[in-house]
Amino acid sequence: MKKLKLLVLAFGLLIVAGSSAYAQNKTGYISVDNMVALMPETAKLDTLIKEYQTDSLQPRFNYTLTQFQRKDSIVNGKDSLKTPAAVRVKMREEMQQDLYELQNWQAIVQQATEAKQNQLLAPIYQKVYAAIQTVAKDNGYAYVYNKEALLVAPPADDLLPLVAKKLNVKLPPGATAGK
């Protein structure tokens, strides 16, 4: 009987010790995408993307179109017989590639724009993740979740205001209203 009491007491102590250790693990969450959207650097992205499309992508389209038209006039124009047959065959192959690019230009622009946007966003995300790490460490958070990734989660603190403060970003009114 004495051993049973001792065993129950030891088991009780383990449960109490485990629950008190669990209680010390603070949990927080943050919407990383919302924080990135609030960053001043993000506001400049639209301008940089438009410049990229205008300065890089549009000249590429114009060049491809010009080359296609030039090759078409050589292959199908009135002086096409003056061009050697091997050259005409080679140009027809190149024209098919050019035509494919011109016909699929919207998809090419979308892919190139997304790649450029990801390239420009990468350092901003790194900066936000570094701030989240610092805020979690400074404020004793053992777990920080991305708000959009969880359907069900234990009660936690929204770290958006703390991370915004760390990054010197002013929050608009109601930015944390969706707790």
Q: How far apart are CA 81 and CA 88, in angstroms?
A: 9
Is position 4 within any domain? no
- Cα Rg for the chain, rounded, in angstroms? 30
pLDDT tens across the length of the chain (179 residues): 555 454 444 555 556 555 445 556 888 999 999 999 999 999 899 899 999 999 999 999 999 999 999 888 888 887 777 888 888 889 899 999 999 999 999 999 999 999 999 999 999 999 999 999 999 999 999 999 988 887 777 788 889 899 999 998 988 887 664 44
CATH of the domain at 140: 3.30.910.20
How far apart are the C-alpha atoms of 89 and 75, rounded to whole Å?
A: 8
In a domain, 132, yes or no: yes
Residue 173 in domain: no
User: How many other C-beta atoms are found inside a 10 Å radius of the C-beta of residue 31?
Assistant: 20
The domain total for the chain is: 1
Q: Is residue 18 part of a domain?
A: no
pTM beyond 0.85: no
* DSSP type of residue 171: P
Contact 74, 88 (CB under 8 A): yes
Residue 112, in any domain of the structure: yes
Q: Are 52 and 83 in contact (CB under 8 A)?
A: no
Distance of CA 102 to the CA centre of its chain: 28
Q: Cα(21)–Cα(9) distance, rounded to whole angstroms?
A: 18
